[in-house]
A and B are shown apart, each in its own frame.
Chain A
Amino acid sequence: MDLQGFGHLLVSGTWVTIQLALASLVFGLMFGLMGAAAKLSPFRVLRYMATLYTTLVRGIPELLLVLTLYFGGSQLLMWFMGFFGYDEYIEISPFIAGVGALSIAFGAYATEVFRMAMLAIPKGQWESAYAFGMSPVQTFFRIILPQLWRLAIPGLGNLFQVLLKDTALVSVVGLNDLMRQAYVASGSTKEPFTFYMAAALIYLGLTVLATLTTQFLERRADPAGKGARA
C-alpha cells in the first residue's frame, strides 16, 4: 500500500482518535455509574430522570448527538451560563463536542451494564460487611466495587468497541481524527480507496487491541475463574 508520504498524517489522526476514545471512556464511565446509582436509588425522581436519560439517548443516532452538541452546544452553554451572569461568546471545539456526545451515549448503555452487575451481587455481601462494622461507603469501595468490576468488564468491553468505532463520527464536525486525515489525504492524492482502506485497517487494529485489553482485564479481575454472570 503506497501512502505517498501521507503516513504521518494518518498516525497523527490515530493519536487524536485514541485520545478522543479514552477521554470519552472516562466521562462515559462516570455517567454510567451515576446513571446506575440513580436507577437504583430509593428516590423516585432520580429513577425517572435516569430512565428518561437512557431511553432518550439510546433511541437517538450518535451522529445526531454529535451534531447537536457541536452546532447547538454553544447556544445551550451560553444560555446556561447566562444564569450566572456570564454573557461572553462561548465556542465549543469539535473535540469537546465529540467527548460530550460520545460519553453521553456510552453512559446511557453503561448505566444498564452497571445496574445489571449491581443487581447480580448478592444482598448478603452488603449485610455481612455491615455486620463487620463497615460503613456503606467502605462497603461499596472494599466489597462491592471489586465484584462489580468483574461482572461489568465484559459488557463495558463491548461498549468500548462501539465507542471506538463511533469516534469516526466526530470527523463530520471537523475534528482532525483518523477519519478526517484519511479524507484530507484522499483529496490530495485522488486515491480515496487506498486511504480509506488504510484507515479501516488501523481501526481494525485498534478494535483488536481493545478486545485483547478487555480479555486481559477480564482474566485479571477474575483470578478464581468464576466467569461473569451478569
Chain B
Amino acid sequence: MSWEWGIIIEYLPRLLDGAWLTLELVLVSGLMGLALAVPIALARSSDNFWVRALPFAYIFFFRGTPLLVQIFLIYYGASQFDAVKESALWVVLKEPYWCAIIAFTLNTAAYSAELFRGAIQAIPKGEIEAAKAMGMSPPLMIRRVVLPRAFGIALPAYGNEMVLMLKGSALASTITLLDLTGMARTIIARTYTPLEMFMAAGLVYLVIGAAMIGIFRLIEYRFNRYQYYKHTPLPANIDPQLRDEHIDD
C-alpha cells in the first residue's frame, strides 16, 4: 500500500478551508438552535396539555428520524411545491447552505430542548417555591431562576450535543456543500487517495472536537463555579464565633 504524505500536505490548506465552513455551520446553527430550544423546552414542560402537545410532536419527529432525511426533506422536498418556489422563501431555500443551516438548527433545537426540559424538571422544587415566595412574577422567575439554573444543569450534556452536531455537520457534504467532508471528497475525486484524505479530515474533526470539549469545560467551570469553589482554611486562632459549622473542617 502506498501512502502519499505529499498529497496530504499539498491539499491541507483546502481541507482547512472546508473545516472553516464546518465551524461556521456548527456555530450558526448551534446559536440559532439554542435560541429556538429555550422556548420549546419551556412550552414542553408546561402543565397545560395543549401547550405541551406541539413541542412534543416536534421533538418526537426530529429525534426519531435521521438527520439525512431532514436535510433532504428541506433541500429537495421544498421544490415540490410551486407556492414555495414563487414565494420570497425560495431565495433562502434554493441555497444548499441555508437548507443545511435550517436542518441543523431544527435538529439540534429538538435535542437540546429535550435536554433543557430534563434540566428544568431537575431544579429543586424549593428554589421555585422560594422564588414564588419572594413575589416574583412567572416571567421574572423564569428569567432569573429557572433558565440560569437549567442552563447550568444542562451544560455538560449540551457540550456533548454540540460535539454530535459537529459530527452531524458532515452530512452537509451530501447537498453539495464543501465542508470538511465535502472538501475531502472533492480532493479524492481528483487525486484518488481516499485513505490519506479521509484520515486527514478525520484528524481535523478530532482536533475541532477536542477544542470544543475544552471550551465547554471552561464555560462549565466558570458558569457552575459555585460547585468548584474551594474554601481557604481558616487560621486556627480565629474567634470561634466566626466559625461556620457548615463550611469548616
Contact = CB atoms under 8 A, between A and B. Distances in A.
Chain A's interface: helix, strand, loop or mixed, by majority?
helix
A56 B167 CA distance: 12
B64 interface: yes
Contact of A61 (B64, B181, B199): B181
B78 interface: yes
Given A183-B72, A193-B77, A59 B209 contact: yes
A166 B66 contact: yes
A204 B80 contact: no
A63 B72 contact: no
Interface in A62-108: 62-64, 67-68, 71-72, 75-76, 78-79, 82
A63 B173 contact: yes
A227 B81 CA distance: 49
Given A165-B65, A194-B80, A61 B72 contact: no
Contacts of A208: 64
Contacts of A193: 73, 76-78, 80-81
Contacts of B195: 68, 72, 75-76
B67 interface: yes
B64 A204 contact: yes
A158 to B, nearest CB: 11
Interface residues of A, number: 41
Contact of B167 (A61, A82, A194, A196): A61
B205 interface: yes
A123 to B, nearest CB: 29
A78 B194 CA distance: 14
Given A63-B170, A63-B181, A199 B80 contact: no
B1 A196 contact: no
Given A61-B167, A64-B181, A172 B174 contact: yes
Given A67-B181, A196-B76, A197-B77, A204 B205 contact: no
Contact of A200 (B61, B76, B194): B61
A72 B181 CA distance: 15
Given A64-B170, A64-B201, A168 B66 contact: yes
B68 interface: yes
B206 interface: yes
A70 to B, nearest CB: 9
Interface residues of B, number: 41
Interface in B143-202: 163, 166-171, 173-174, 181, 184-185, 188, 194-195, 198-199, 201-202
A41 B14 CA distance: 42
Contacts of B140: none
Contacts of B79: 192
A229 B26 CA distance: 34
B157 to A, nearest CB: 13
B81 A59 contact: no
Given A61-B181, A179-B69, A72 B170 contact: no
Contacts of B130: none
Given A56-B206, A191-B80, A192-B76, A71 B194 contact: yes
Contacts of A55: 206
Interface in A170-204: 171-172, 179, 182-183, 186, 190-194, 196-197, 199-200, 203-204
A171 to B, nearest CB: 7
Given A59-B205, A64-B202, A72-B194, A196 B170 contact: no
Given A56-B202, A64-B170, A192-B79, 9 more contacts: A56-B206, A60-B167, A63-B170, A68-B194, A72-B198, A167-B66, A186-B76, A193-B80, A203-B69
29 contacts: A55-B206, A59-B205, A60-B202, A61-B167, A61-B181, A62-B170, A64-B184, A64-B202, A67-B181, A68-B199, A68-B202, A71-B198, A72-B198, A75-B194, A78-B1, A168-B67, A169-B68, A172-B174, A191-B80, A192-B72, A192-B76, A192-B79, A196-B73, A200-B61, A200-B69, A200-B70, A203-B64, A204-B61, A204-B65
Interface of A: 55-56, 59-64, 67-68, 71-72, 75-76, 78-79, 82, 165-169, 171-172, 179, 182-183, 186, 190-194, 196-197, 199-200, 203-204, 207-208
Which 9 A-B pairs have CB atoms at the shortest separation, nearest pair first? Answer: A193-B77, A61-B170, A79-B1, A168-B66, A192-B76, A71-B194, A72-B195, A72-B194, A193-B80
